[in-house]
Every structure is written in structure tokens, then in C-alpha cells.
Amino acid sequence: MYKIILPNFEGPFDLLLYFIKRDEINIYDIPIAKLADEFLNYIKLASHFNLELAGEFIVMASNLMYIKSQMLLPYKQEQDGVEIEEPRAQLVQNILEYLQYKEVAKDLLNLYSKQEFMLCRGNFSAEYANANFSAIYKNANLIDLLKAFAKAINRNLEPTNVHVVEMISITVEEKKQLILDNLQAKKRLTFFELVKSQTKQHIVITFLAMLELIKLKIIFVTQDKIFEDIIIVEYPKELETSL
């Protein structure tokens, strides 16, 4: 008797990447018909062995079949003077973005394992500097924030004057209010200043608090260079009026 083991994929993009790597496919020139057929065969095989698949797999299968149908039509680069996007372009972009997320997640996991048994001081050690802030707003995306988050943890892997302290309990809501209080007083903060000499738990809570404030359009974050510090300011009124 043979035991058949299907590869375990967390999501549809993992399955796509498996096919791409296995067949050494150029990600910018994906043979969509072959890939769509492979994807559907996997779903049928998983169904045959009573494996539950998330709805995302079905959505991806439908999307691949749609792209496959579009590839069968004559492709025009322009129509009525308007450039038409190549049918596979969005899929390629999504795969590239997913690869970026996987790399960042891998870095964060490595940093987490390094700091698992380390504890550093849990209080702020520096005052925020008053400064007039004027800049061309360049919105930082989630990948920028994740990279800054990883760098912040890495900066605290070798803390100075380490000693045993009591665990300080703080919620995301409390951290949100702390960020807003400091922002009201100083007008401009940076992520590294907020988490300087903080424990891993405080860095994570600060990061989550920032994400919620960004989603609510209460704060605005910007970054000059990749992997550099994240600048935090109040959400600009000119952006509100432009929406």
C-alpha cells in the first residue's frame, strides 16, 4: 500500500511559487495555460483525498482561468490611445509582492528567535527633540514598516546595562494614547525613538498601535530611505481635503 502525501501550502501563492520554482519558470513570462491547469489539478487531487482548501485557492483558480481566457484573445497594447495592461501583469505584481512579504516574515522570525530569551529596560531613555517638520509627504507602505520593525528589534539585540525588571503590562489602546500624547507635545516622532531600549513585547505593541492609528488616518508615516527610520506626524489636513 502506498501513502500519498500532498505538499502543504499555506495559500494559493505558495502553490504558484512551488510550480514556478519546480519548472524554473521566468516569473515575468509565466505560461499561464500550463500554470492554470497545474493549479486546477492540485485542487482536484486535494478534493479527491478530502483535503480542505481555503476559499482563496478557489478564487485564485478562477482568476487564473480568466487570465487564461484573456490570453487566448488577440492582445492590443493600446485601444483608443489608452495603454492596455498585459493580462498577466497584475498576477506577476502580486507574486513579487508576496515574495517580499515572505522575505520580511523570514527576517522577523529569525530576529524573534535571537531575542527570545533577552530582556532589556522597559522605559524611555531619551527626550523627544522639538523640531519644525516640513517635508514632501511620501507615504511608507506596509513593507517599509515591517522592515523598520525588524531593524528596531535588531537594534535591541545587544542592550546595555541589562538587568532583571518586572514585566510592564501595556495594551495597544494605551500605547496608541501614549503615541498621540507625545505627538501632540512634540509634533514629530520617529519609530526608533518610540521603541528605543524597549523590550520585544513593547516593540510589537508599539507597531500594532501605529498600524491602527494609520488605518484610522490619525497619524501619517513617511520614510526617506529604505530600511531607515519611520517618521510619524499627524495626518496632514491637505491629504484629507484631497480625498
Please name which of 220, 227, 213 lies closest in space to residue 148, comparing C-alpha atoms: 227
| Domains identified in the chain and CATH numbers | 1-73+82-117 (no CATH), 118-242 (1.10.10.580)
Distance CA 50, CA 52 (A): 6
Mean pLDDT, all residues of the chain: 72
The fraction of the chain above a pLDDT of 70, given in percent, is 59
Q: 240: pLDDT confidence band, cut at 50, 70 and 90?
A: low
Do 182 and 193 contact (CB within 8 A), yes or no?
no
Please name which of 190, 188, 175, 183 lies closest in space to residue 223, comparing C-alpha atoms: 190
| C-alpha dihedral, 27 to 31 to 37 to 40, nearest 10° | 30
Q: What is the pLDDT of residue 144?
A: 64
Span 146-190, pLDDT tens digits: 666 666 666 654 444 444 444 556 788 899 999 999 898 888 888
